[in-house]
Each structure stands twice: as structure tokens, then as C-alpha cells.
Amino acid sequence: MPPALPLDAVYTSHWCEENVYLLVQSFQHPSISELWDVFAVFISNHAKMVALWNQKLSKEPGLPVVWDYHVITVLRSRQDSLRTESWVYDFDTTLGMPVTWDTYFAQTFSTNVPEAFQSAVFSEWIPANIYLDRFASDRSHMLDKAVSDLKYLQPPPLYPAIRGKLCKSAIIHNLMDFVSMLPTDGYGDVKDMQAISEFLGQPEDPEEGS
């Protein structure tokens, strides 16, 4: 079985990239890393409009939430015989945490929406150590550009902004490099759904979102 969500896991609504960073950080223990490959997974598309079902912020049951991007944690078993047992930690899903990848995949993604909103088109899979070392955010992406004073669109986390230990002094905000689904822009492997199914050993086509 996968590790349980830590009792002291930190969650701030609308700050998924930081929630995942701290969760991935908490999973850096031999009892976990010897059994599981840990990934931060960015879900987006070129339009930065992705529809995800079974999200807590849905306005009503059965409707998706449209994000510009979303970030989850995925654990893949390091034992080949158990390779299909991959687990998802998504702080914003209603499906539970952790939940198996096949359940998450079937009930979060749908191809029955216009192509611009398809959330199952691309994702970037970033190994835990790279994410922890290379990610940096000054949180400027959440500032309300419509007002003159510095005001966040959503309340920021109470802890200091995150800066990976290997980020150069000039790098204070590289979030959009992780969000980008262009293979040359990011820090991990950009995969379409067929590549993910091969990587995790899961079905290729999502069922209709519910």
C-alpha cells in the first residue's frame, strides 16, 4: 500500500504547486523512496484551460473545474510486478487521497469536451529530486494585475515563498517553465495520454467525466 497522507500535510487552496512541493518533500524518506518513484505532475495544455472533474471547487456536482494548470503527486511502484499500482495525491479532488491512478484517470479526465478544454492531452512528469531542487516561485503569478496595489487573487500560504536549493540567484520564479507543455521548456518529460499509459501500464482512453 502507498504511504498515507501525512497528518501534518500543509494545504493552501489555489496553490497546488506549493502543496505538492511540500508533500513531495515529506516523501523524501528511505521507507518511501526505496519502494516508490515520486513525481510532481503538472496537468495543462497549450491553451492553459483544462477541465477536471470531481474537484472540490466545482460549482455543482457533475460539473468540471477549469484550471489554467493543476499539479498532483503520483507514486509509481519501483517493483515491475506492481507497476500498475500507481497512486495519486490530489488535495483538490473529491475522490479521496491517495487514489489509484486508474480511478483518478477515469473520473477526472474526459475527452467529451472541446479540444481547448481537454485536460488529458499533456502532462509533465517531474522526478521528486528535480522538483525539489529546481522549482522557485515568488508568487507573482497570483497578483491581481487589474489593481495598482499588490493584492493576491487568492490568499497566499503563510510560509515563505519556495526556492529550490539549486536555483541560481537570478531565478526567483520559474513556475511557468514547469507549466509549459513544450518539451524543451520544462524540467521533466512531457507525456500525452498514450505515453502515460505505457509509463504506468494504464488504459489509454479516459471514461466520461462524472
**What single-letter amino acid sits at 178?**
F
Domain count, the chain: 1
Give residue 89's domain range. 16-200
Give domain status of residue 3, yes or no: no
Computed on alpha carbons and rounded to an integer, the radius of gyration of the chain in Å comes to 17
pLDDT, position 210: 37
167 is catalytic: no
- Whether the per-residue pLDDT at 203 is higher than 90: the answer is no
192 falls within a domain? yes
List 90, 173, 177, 205, catalytic entry: 90
User: Does residue 172 lie in a domain region?
Assistant: yes
Contacting residues for 75 by C-beta, under 8 A, at least 6 apart: 2, 3, 27, 32, 36, 37, 38, 39, 86, 87, 89, 98
| Residue 208 clears pLDDT 50, i.e. is over it | no
Q: Flag whether 73 is in a domain.
A: yes
The answer to whether residue 29 is catalytic is: no
* 16 among known catalytic residues: yes
Can you give the CATH number for the domain in which 62 is found?
3.10.620.10
State pTM to two decimals: 0.89
Identify the active-site residue in 70, 149, 173, 177: 70
